Every structure is written in structure tokens, then in C-alpha cells.
Amino acid sequence: MHLKKWLLYITNNEEVSRHEEEFDIAFFIINTLAVIGGSIYVACIGQWEWIPFLVIEYTWAIDTMRHNRP
């Protein structure tokens, strides 16, 4: 049961969030920079088909971060 509680905590899926706001802000900034930088990189190397994948992963990460927020 301990592993399940830990996984719920790191994915922010508990009934009441225990994640700190600073963590959420850093997570948002890092993910935003990653999707922008990744999109620029794949565009430069001509792999345009990977940009939708990056956007989908970005929206999934942001949704996970905001899950169960009051």
C-alpha cells in the first residue's frame, strides 16, 4: 500500500493536494520551455510530425499537475 500512496502523491492524484505552489510554478515553466524548445528543435531537423506528440505530452503534463486542484 505504501507504493500506491507514493504514486498518488507524485502524480498529484490525492483527494487533497500536498504539492507546493512553488513546485507547480517550476513544473509549468520547465514544461513550457521544453515544448517550445522541442518544437523548435524538431522543426529545425525537419521532423515536423513530432510536434503534435510534444503538444499532447505538454497538455497531459499540465492536466496532471492541475488534477484535483480546489
3-state secondary structure the chain: CHHHHHHHHHCCCCCCCCCCHHHHHHHHHHHHHHHHHHHHHHHHCCCHHHHHHHHHHHHHHHHHHHCCCC
Q: 10: pLDDT confidence band, cut at 50, 70 and 90? A: low
Domain count, the chain: 1
**Domain containing residue 30:** 2-66
Tell whether the model's pLDDT for residue 67 goes beyond 80: no
Residue-wise pLDDT for 32-54, tens only, equals 898 999 999 999 999 999 989 88
9 pLDDT more than 80: no
